[in-house]
Structure 1
Amino acid sequence: MSTVDQEVSPPPNVNDPAIYDWYREMRDNHPVYQDPVTKWWVVYRYADARQVLTNPGTYSSEMHRMGFPETGLESLPQMDPPRHTRVRQILGTAFTPHSIASFEPQIIRITNEIIDELIDKKRVDLLHELAYTVPIGVILEVLGLPAEDRPLFYDFARRVMEVTPEEMAQPDFAEALGSLQQGAVSYLRERVRERKGKTNDDMLTRLANAELNGDRLTEDETVNFANVMFAGGHISTTMTIANAVDLLDLNPDAQAEVRADPGLLPDTIEEVLRHRPPITTGLRASTREVELGGVTIPANQHVAASFCSANRDERQFPDPEAFDIHRKSEGRHFGFGYGTHHCIGNALGRLEGRLVMKVLHERFREIAVDRDAAVWALPPQMVGFDQLPVELTPA
């Protein structure tokens, strides 16, 4: 059976609220559907999406299966087990819960320093003036890189996130992406070589010298993971921070609760990630013909798990359209991916989200979103804003 020929209305923009009614229609009537434009098989129900994200033998992350050339730039998100397992285990020796928790003072300091520059302004674009700058500043400091190098990674990350699904479906996409990455990759390669054999207390040094039972990361693996931290990690955190500000502004009762009890922030960030995940889809490649959701997907096809739809699936989450900061959904939603490729930097992203919101609430007694002037992000793989103007009232 195939649903590609069944009539389906075109989807609204991913940042149009009408998209959620469209997702519900797809979950009910077209749970696995081949998009006529991209030719991706998009999976809309939670249970089916979980199948895609947890079965790498059938749904591979190695995009060279789709005819993309192997460029030597493959990184953790593009690996399958056992290669992925090996690299992730070695990374785990450097990216420990203790090491992530130790960054709390830096995150608070960087957030306060950026707010100090904004405190006298009554109106700011919170996305560009804080939600972008804090994560980049944090990652630079975590990796032990100078703050003046921020523009290189800011520009690269923005360009990566502006790539459309139509561009990704082109045969020369991997080559084009490799060319786009060259500046950042060359810079990081030099820094990795500088840190080999050193004992500096920064994440790049730990990665360059990470070892598990005598096994070390190759230079390419180290460089590519550091690159992923910039390209993916900072964008996800940026969108999470901006979405948290907007969703709390839209839900004043929840806002008041969180301000009165910062201990609610962990569950609040989880609900932000469920309700409005920063990245829309998890893309895989089918390794064989497979039936999913009553649909037969041929081998060597793009299969995209829709995080936005799955996170609103009423089969998994009661009253899924409600923004409920008391919902216990950590470990179940797809806000930072799921399964084998659950984001290894998720703990850092969650920590940044909680701490930035805590500092914002301490420094400002009111953060009012100018909804008429806000501009949603256009790239279809991001959920969030391109501009988020707010009126600030200092505490």
Structure 2
Amino acid sequence: MTISEVGLDPYNYDFHEDPYPYYKRLRDEAPLYRNAELGFWALSRHRDVLQGFRNSTTLSNKFGVSLDPASRGPHASKTMSFLAMDDPDHLRLRTLVSKGFTPRRIRELEPRVTEIAVQHLDSMLEQARDGATVDYVDEFAGKLPMDVISELMGVPQADRVQVRAWADAVMHREEGVTDVPDSAIEASLNLIVYYQEMVKERRKQLTDDLTSALLEAEIDGDRLTDDEIIGFMFLMVIAGNETTTKLLANAAFWGHRNPDQLAPVYEDLEQVPSWVEETLRFDTSSQILARTVQGELELYDTVIPDGDVLLLLPGSAHRDERVFENPDDFVIGREIGSKLMSFGSGAHFCLGAHLARMEARVALAELFKRIRGYEVDEATAVRVHSSNVRGFAHLPMSVSHR
């Protein structure tokens, strides 16, 4: 079989339904894959993806981490903040942002995250009385992460539904569209204008939120500009909201598919973090991240030229049988540890990893305090269509209340 017969098209709806057979063929037959038509290379084996994440000199972030042409380029940092930068710019901005986005702030947010989760759950479970079907994404998984980020940043309650709608529109892709659609560009502009107003208000009157903390962040007289703060807020909405929504829905879906694995979790909620970790491994939200080659990179006796796009595939790496035993089995409690790359690795390791894990743990534990079982209606579930994230736009389910 020739390499050209092994395919990877991140825009293909069939690939979105189930990318894992594609990944396996890549790992086995084309560990360095080339798609000439879409203009990228791809790495699929665990060892190669991990080295790729850790090589932030030859593999540059400065043109962004998405394959979509409109998202790529020197302007990427406007909406992706330090994720689309290399050092020293990346290190400067990340260090300043870390002054406001502290582990302590995340810890102190947990009681409020619990309140928001309970509020949405109460509403969802009320709708699910008497065996009625309810959309878990619409009513819970899609609401909680965006509300948590809005809470963190200080977005007023009254504006949150609108902000959430814009964030969703930024990510949505119709079939066959290989670039950022006009609707997503319009939603992005709306979000940026909204955050500009918010920053302007905080300049006049600081409050106790992350937006104000970012305005106050300072190292040796160096401060964040308004554009840098807005870029980070935008990154939080896209990276923080989208991936956590997908994590919550993927956890519910694979739990439904593997009831034997979930049974002990109902009895012991201390196992919820293990459920979260196995979901991150088995079906990670963040499947594909792009890098740009700087200089030259030689892999598998092939020289990848300067300026070419190289995709790192953590979604594939997590199913690599060279690293994980029976990787296609969903096993809650398996040893994963540092082999996980859902949050990247190296210099660009996700700053929001703690927040995402805390949200998922709280959300799923609170759900399981209230139900003793659930059934997903797979026939009407709808997948998200995106070139880099994986999850559900709609996940209808019925629940058995405790």
TM, length-normalised to structure 1: 0.90
Instruction: Report how far residue 58 of structure 1 moved.
Output: 0.6
The one-letter amino acid paired with 2:29 is: N
Partners in 1 of 2:383 and 2:217 — Cα distance?
40
Q: Do the aligned partners of 1:164 and 1:381 also contact (CA within 8 Å) in 2?
A: no
Q: Do the aligned partners of 2:149 and 2:237 also contact (CA within 8 Å) in 1?
A: yes
Q: Do the aligned partners of 2:276 and 2:357 also contact (CA within 8 Å) in 1?
A: yes
- Structure 1 position 94 matched with structure 2 position 100: yes
Q: Do the aligned partners of 1:48 and 1:292 also contact (CA within 8 Å) in 2?
A: no
> Structure 1 residues 51-60 or 238-247, which shifts more?
51-60
Q: Do the aligned partners of 1:161 and 1:382 also contact (CA within 8 Å) in 2?
A: no
For residue 32 of structure 2, what is the aligned residue in structure 1? 32
Q: Do the aligned partners of 2:285 and 2:389 also contact (CA within 8 Å) in 1?
A: yes
For residue 109 of structure 2, what is the aligned residue in structure 1? 103
Q: Do the aligned partners of 1:156 and 1:180 also contact (CA within 8 Å) in 2?
A: yes
Q: Do the aligned partners of 2:64 and 2:77 also contact (CA within 8 Å) in 1?
A: no
Instruction: Report how far residue 216 of structure 1 moved.
Output: 1.7
For residue 149 of structure 1, what is the aligned residue in structure 2? 159
For residue 88 of structure 2, what is the aligned residue in structure 1? 82
Instruction: Report how far residue 150 of structure 1 moved.
Output: 2.2
Partners in 2 of 1:71 and 1:25 — Cα distance?
32
Q: Do the aligned partners of 1:283 and 1:304 also contact (CA within 8 Å) in 2?
A: yes
1:13-32 → structure 2 map (5 Å cutoff): 13-17=14-18, 19-32=19-32
The one-letter amino acid paired with 1:96 is: T
Q: Deviation digits for residues 99-140 of structure 1, max 9, x if unmatched?
A: 111111111111111122222222111011111111111111
Instruction: Report how far residue 332 of structure 1 moved.
Output: 2.3
Structure 1 residues 262 and 321: CA distance shift in structure 2, 3 A: same
> Structure 1 residues 33-42 or 274-283, which shifts more?
33-42
1:223-234 → structure 2 map (5 Å cutoff): 223-234=230-241
- Structure 1 position 8 matched with structure 2 position 14: no
Partners in 2 of 1:385 and 1:216 — Cα distance?
39
Partners in 2 of 1:306 and 1:71 — Cα distance?
20
The one-letter amino acid paired with 1:222 is: I
- Structure 1 position 361 matched with structure 2 position 378: no
SS class of match (2:15):
coil
Instruction: Report how far residue 354 of structure 1 moved.
Output: 0.5
1:160-199 → structure 2 map (5 Å cutoff): 160-163=170-173, 180-196=187-203, 198-199=205-206
Q: Deviation digits for residues 21-68 of structure 1, max 9, x if unmatched?
A: 321121111011112442111111111112221112111111189983
Partners in 1 of 2:259 and 2:64 — Cα distance?
47
Q: Do the aligned partners of 1:267 and 1:328 also contact (CA within 8 Å) in 2?
A: no
Relative to total residues, which structure has the larger helix share, 1 or 2? 2
Q: Deviation digits for residues 275-294 of structure 1, max 9, x if unmatched?
A: 11102111111112211233
Q: Do the aligned partners of 1:4 and 1:36 also contact (CA within 8 Å) in 2?
A: no
The one-letter amino acid paired with 2:301 is: G
TM, length-normalised to structure 2: 0.89
Partners in 2 of 1:336 and 1:219 — Cα distance?
27
For residue 258 of structure 1, what is the aligned residue in structure 2? 265
Aligned length: 389
The one-letter amino acid paired with 1:366 is: G
Q: Do the aligned partners of 2:287 and 2:315 also contact (CA within 8 Å) in 1?
A: yes
The one-letter amino acid paired with 1:209 is: E
For residue 56 of structure 2, what is the aligned residue in structure 1? 56
> Structure 1 residues 208-217 or 140-149, which shifts more?
208-217
Partners in 2 of 1:164 and 1:208 — Cα distance?
37
SS class of match (1:185):
helix
Q: Deviation digits for residues 61-97 of structure 1, max 9, x if unmatched?
A: 1118998353772512101111111111111121121
Structure 1 residues 166 and 341: CA distance shift in structure 2, 3 A: farther
Q: CA RMSD in A?
A: 2.7
SS class of match (1:73):
helix
Structure 1 residues 53 and 266: CA distance shift in structure 2, 3 A: same
Q: Do the aligned partners of 2:93 and 2:224 also contact (CA within 8 Å) in 1?
A: yes
For residue 251 of structure 2, what is the aligned residue in structure 1? 244
> Structure 1 residues 23-32 or 287-296, which shifts more?
287-296
Instruction: Report how far residue 348 of structure 1 moved.
Output: 0.7
Instruction: Report how far residue 235 of structure 1 moved.
Output: 0.6
SS class of match (1:258):
helix
SS class of match (1:350):
helix
Partners in 1 of 2:315 and 2:152 — Cα distance?
30
> Structure 1 residues 279-288 or 205-214, which shifts more?
205-214
Structure 1 residues 165 and 99: CA distance shift in structure 2, 3 A: farther
Q: 1:119 aligns with which of 122, 125, 133?
A: 125
For residue 379 of structure 2, what is the aligned residue in structure 1? 372
1:315-330 → structure 2 map (5 Å cutoff): 315-330=322-337
Moved over 4 A (4+): 9-12, 64-67, 163-168, 173-180
Q: Do the aligned partners of 1:71 and 1:174 also contact (CA within 8 Å) in 2?
A: no
SS class of match (1:14):
helix
Q: 1:129 aligns with which of 112, 134, 139?
A: 139
- Structure 1 position 297 matched with structure 2 position 304: yes
The one-letter amino acid paired with 1:104 is: E
Q: Do the aligned partners of 1:157 and 1:232 also contact (CA within 8 Å) in 2?
A: no
The one-letter amino acid paired with 1:240 is: L
SS class of match (1:25):
helix
The one-letter amino acid paired with 1:119 is: L
Q: 1:73 aligns with which of 63, 67, 78?
A: 78
Instruction: Report how far residue 179 of structure 1 moved.
Output: 5.9
The one-letter amino acid paired with 2:354 is: A
For residue 317 of structure 2, what is the aligned residue in structure 1? 310
SS class of match (2:380):
coil
